[in-house]
Structure 1
Amino acid sequence: MPAIPHEIFKAYDIRGVVGKTITAENVEKIGHAIGSEARARNLTAIAIGRDGRLSGTELSQALARGIRKSGIDVVDIGMVATPMLYFAAHELCQYSGVMVTGSHNPPEYNGFKIVLGGQTLAAETIQALRLRIENNDLTQGAGHYSEHNIAATYLQRITGDIKLARPIKIVVDCGNGVAGAYAPALYRGLGCQVSELFCDVDGSFPNHHPDPSVPDNLNDVIQALQTTDAEIGLAFDGDGDRLGIVTKDGHIVNADRQLMLFAADVLSRNPGGKIIFDVKCTRNLAPWIRQHGGTPVMWKTGHSFIKSKLIEEKALLAGEMSGHLFFKERWYGFDDGLYAGARLLELLSREQDITATLKNLPDSLNTPELQVRTAEGENHTLIAQLQKNAVFDNPQQVITTDGLRVEYSDGFGLARASNTTPVVVLRFEADNQAALQRIQEDFRRNILQAKADAQLPF
C-alpha cells in the first residue's frame, strides 16, 4: 500500500492540499482508521459534515466509505458549520464526529477535525491514526449510512435559550464561508435586523478570505458600519467556529478582549469559576478575571488543547487569541462562533451604547501576531534552545507552558513554535511605545544569539 503523507497529520487536525496530499483514496484510508479507532473505544456511529469548500462533497463521500468499512455507522449531516457538526455528534452519536473542513486555509486546502466520545483528537491521537493506516491495524465491517438535517434543532436550541432585551441592527460578513448558510437566519431568529455581506457559500472565496483574525479581511464590515445604521459587525471564519467583532466606529475587538466581556457575564452567575485562555492573550485578562471573582488559567495555544483543559479544569468558559471561544455555561463546551455571536448580542442588547461598552474594556499597546520563518521542525528546536539558554532583562516571570512568555512590570513578550506551519510566532504588549521597543529588543538579542540569521519582523 503506498505510504500516506506524514505531513498532513498536524497538531490539531489533518490538513493538506486537495489532489496532492488529500486525495479521495487517502481520505478513505483516514476514514477507515477513524472508524477503527472508534471501534476500539466501543463507539457505534460517527456524524460527518462538510464546509462550503468545492472539494467537500467528494471528500466527505470518501470519508463515509472508509468509516463504514470499519463497521461504524455514518450519520451525514451535509454542509454545515463546524460547531453544528459538534452539536450533531453530541446529540446523535455519543459525541463522535468528523468535520471535513480546511478551516481558514486557502481554497485548495481541505482537512478533518475529529472528535471521538467527546475527546478532540490532537497531537499523538492524530499520529495514532496514521500508524493504524501504516500498520494496517484496521477493523473490517459494513456500517450503515443515513442522512440527517440538524440545522433546525441547532438553531432552535440557541434561540430557545438566548433572549435579547431589544432588537439590534447588525452587519454579518461570512466571507463566502459556510456560516453564511446559517448565521443570518440565527440572528434574525433572535430578533436582529441583519445586513448580509458575502453570505452566499462559495468555496473559491471570491471576495476576501474568511479569516477574521486578519484585520484586512474586516474592511468590508468597517465600510458597511460607516454607511448604514447598523450598531455592530460580526465576521466569521470559513467553517464558523471563530468570531470577529467590529464596533460601529471601526475598531476590531480582539478575542482576548471579547473574553473579558463574556467572563464578567459568566462569573456574575458563577462566582469563583475558572476561565481558561491561551498564552497569546493580553496581560489585562488575568487581573480582570480575578477582579470579577474568577480564577484565571493560562494554557497552550490550540483549540484541541484548550478544549481538553476546559474539561480537565471543569471551567465555565475558555478562549484563545485566534478567535475560538468555548462556552460550557449554558452550552456544550465546544468552540462555536455562531453561538458566541448570539451570547454577545444578548449581552449588548442590555446596553444603550454598544460601542462605549466595548471600548471600555481594558486595552493596551500590542502587536499583531508576528512570524519568523524557519526550516521544517527548526521552530521547535529554536524555542527549546531559548527555553534553556535565553537570559532576559529583569523579567517578573518566565512562563514556559507553550514556548516562552516573559512577563515584565510594563508588558510581555511571547515566542512560541507554531504547530501548524514552520514558524516561530511572536507577540508583544506594553504600557507604552518605549516599553514595547525595550521588550522587543530583549527578544531580538536572545533570538539572534540562538539563530544569527533569523529574519525578525520587528
Structure 2
Amino acid sequence: MQLAPEIFKAYDIRGIIDKTLTPEVARAIGHALGSEAVARGQQTIAVGRDGRLSGPALAGALAEGICAAGVDVIDVGCVPTPLSYFAAFHLGTDSCVSVTGSHNPPDYNGFKMVLGGQTLFGELIQDLRRRIEEGDLAHGTGSVRKADIVGDYLDRVVGDVKLARPMKIVIDCGNGVAGAIAPELFRRLGCEVTELFCEVDGHFPNHHPDPSKPENLQDVVRALAETDAELGLAFDGDGDRLGVVTKDGEIIYPDRQLMLFAEDVLSRVPGGQIIYDVKCTRNLAHWIRERGGEPVMWNTGHALVKAKLKETGAPLAGEMSGHMFFKERWYGFDDGLYTGARLLEILSARPDANAALKALPDAVSTPELNIKMNEGEPFELVRRLREQAAFDGAQEVITIDGVRVEYADGFGLARPSNTTPVVVLRFEADSQEAITRIQGAFRQAIEAVWPGAQLPF
C-alpha cells in the first residue's frame, strides 16, 4: 500500500485525516506494531484515544491491525494520553498506544506508542514503516476487550497527592480530552474548581488546546481576574502537558515550574539527577545544584527524555514544552494532570501560592522563534553552525541537540525541529541589551553559513 513517509515522525506517527492518515493506514500500522510486539514477546497492547472526531474509526482500525498479528487489545476508550500510559502499568500490558493529535489542528491525528516499556521513537518508528512496505508481518487472531481505568487512575492520584489546605483554581481544558477527568480529579483533591471548556469537543470551538502559546491562556487570565480563584491550570489536547497562570495573570513557563518540582523532589531524594531539555532556562542548573541535586541537560523530545530517565534512574525530568516526568512516587511518563496535582500539593503548603510562583528566578527571554525552511534543510544549517561558526566571548558551546551557546549573561540556541521543517531559536539573558547582542552573534553566524536565511528576529 502507499504510505506517506512524512507521517512517520521522530517521536510519533502523525498525519492529516483522510489524506495521509486513513483507517486503512491505521490498520496497516496496527499490523506492523502487533508484529513488532510479537518479536518482543509482548502479548497485549492497551489502546486509548483522545477526543478527536476521527478517534473512534482510527482506534478501531488500529486494533484490527494489532489483532491481525495475533496480539490482544485492551480498549480503554476515550482518555487522556497519560491514562493510556497508566493502563500499560495498571493492566500489566507494558505496551500501549494513544491515538492522539496532541495539540495539532482538528484535522490531524496520530499514534504515540510504547512497547515493552519502551517509547517508540526515531528508527523504531521507521521500522514500522519498513515492516509495512516489505510485508514483514506476523499473522494470528487477537481479541479485543474493553476496560474502564478512569476510576483506578483517579484513586491512584488522590491516594498519592495530599493538599495541605483546600484551594480555589481555574482549569481550562480547551475542549480536549483532559476535560473528561480534570474537574473530578481536582475536586477530589479538595479544590473548588472553575471550569473553562471542559466539554470534550473535537472541533475545539473556543481556542486551540496548546497551553505553551500565551494567546491560548487569556481565558484563564480573565477568569482569575474575575473570580477569587488563586491559580490557573491549562491542559493541552491530550492532557500530557500543563500550563500555569498566577492570580495576577503571569504565565509560569515549564522551566520555572521545574524549579519548584526539583526543590520538592530533592528534599526526599538527596543528590538526585534532574533532567531538562536544551530549551530550558540557564537558571535551572544553579537552582538544582544549590539544593544538592545534579543538573542534566538533554535533548528535546518527550521520547528522548523518557529514554534518558530510564537510563539514569533520575527521579524527575521536564521539558520547556510542558512535558513533566515524575519517577519519584509516579511512573516516569509525562502527565499534565498529575503534574498539576503535584504543583497544588507544593503550593497548598505555602500561605500565598501567587507569591511562591513569582519568587522563582526569572530572566529576560524570547518565546520559541522559527526559521521556516524546506524539508532536510534545518539539520544541514545546524550542522554547518556546529562545524563552522565561531561565537566570540562564549563561555561554552553545547552541541547535544543543536547549538546552545552560553555567555556570562545569557544563552542562544538553534536546533532543528524533529517534527516540522524549521530551525527553533531561543534566547535568554540578564537584560534586553544582552539578548540583542546574543541575537546579533547568531544572526552573523547563521548568515555566514546560510546566506538569505529568513531570520525571525
Deviation of 1:94 after TM superposition, in Å, equals 3.0
What is the distance in 2 between the residues matched to 1:367 and 1:43?
Answer: 45
Residue 185 of structure 1 aligns with which residue? 184
- Root-mean-square deviation (CA), in Å? 0.5
What is the distance in 1 between the residues matched to 2:160 and 2:2?
Answer: 48
Residue 91 of structure 2 aligns with which residue? 92
Which residues of 2 match residues 170-209 of structure 1 at below 5 A?
A: 170-209=169-208
Deviation of 1:4 after TM superposition, in Å, equals 1.2
Equivalent position SS for 2:93: coil
Deviation of 1:336 after TM superposition, in Å, equals 0.2
Residue 212 of structure 1 aligns with which residue? 211
Which residues of 2 match residues 316-327 of structure 1 at below 5 A?
A: 316-327=315-326
Q: Deviations over 1:162-217 (max 9, x none)?
A: 11110000000000000000001000000100000000000010000000000000
- Return structure 1 stretches of 4+ with deviation > 2 angstroms: none
Residue 80 of structure 1 aligns with which residue? 79
Residue 117 of structure 2 aligns with which residue? 118
Deviation of 1:401 after TM superposition, in Å, equals 0.3
Residue 58 of structure 1 aligns with which residue? 57
Equivalent position SS for 1:159: helix
Question: Is the 1:46–1:93 Cα contact (8 Å) retained in structure 2?
Answer: no
Deviation of 1:48 after TM superposition, in Å, equals 0.1
Residue 227 of structure 1 aligns with which residue? 226
Question: Is the 2:276–2:297 Cα contact (8 Å) retained in structure 1?
Answer: yes
- Closer, same or farther: CA 93–65 of 1 in aligned 2, 3 Å: farther
Q: Deviations over 1:58-103 (max 9, x none)?
A: 0000000000000000000000000000000112143200000000
What's the TM-score once normalised by structure 2's chain length?
A: 1.00
**Which one-letter code corresponds to 2:229 in the other structure?**
A
What is the distance in 2 between the residues matched to 1:321 and 1:195?
Answer: 26
Q: Deviations over 1:362-381 (max 9, x none)?
A: 00000000000001110011
**Which one-letter code corresponds to 1:309 in the other structure?**
K
Question: Is the 1:81–1:178 Cα contact (8 Å) retained in structure 2?
Answer: yes
What is the distance in 1 between the residues matched to 2:349 and 2:272?
Answer: 23
Question: Is the 2:74–2:147 Cα contact (8 Å) retained in structure 1?
Answer: yes
What is the distance in 2 between the residues matched to 1:42 and 1:289?
Answer: 40
Equivalent position SS for 1:252: coil
Equivalent position SS for 1:131: helix
Deviation of 1:117 after TM superposition, in Å, equals 0.7
Residue 405 of structure 1 aligns with which residue? 404
What is the distance in 1 between the residues matched to 2:93 and 2:61?
Answer: 22
**Which one-letter code corresponds to 1:226 in the other structure?**
A
Residue 48 of structure 1 aligns with which residue? 47
Deviation of 1:143 after TM superposition, in Å, equals 0.4
What is the distance in 2 between the residues matched to 1:104 and 1:302?
Answer: 15
Residue 282 of structure 2 aligns with which residue? 283
What is the distance in 2 between the residues matched to 1:363 and 1:36?
Answer: 48
Residue 148 of structure 2 aligns with which residue? 149
Q: Deviations over 1:366-400 (max 9, x none)?
A: 00000000011100111111100011121000000
Number of matched residues?
A: 457
**Which one-letter code corresponds to 2:26 in the other structure?**
V
Q: Deviations over 1:415-436 (max 9, x none)?
A: 0000000000000000111111
Residue 455 of structure 1 aligns with which residue? 454
What is the distance in 2 between the residues matched to 1:119 and 1:333?
Answer: 12
Runs of at least 5 residues in structure 1 that lack an aligned partner in the other structure: none
Deviation of 1:105 after TM superposition, in Å, equals 0.4
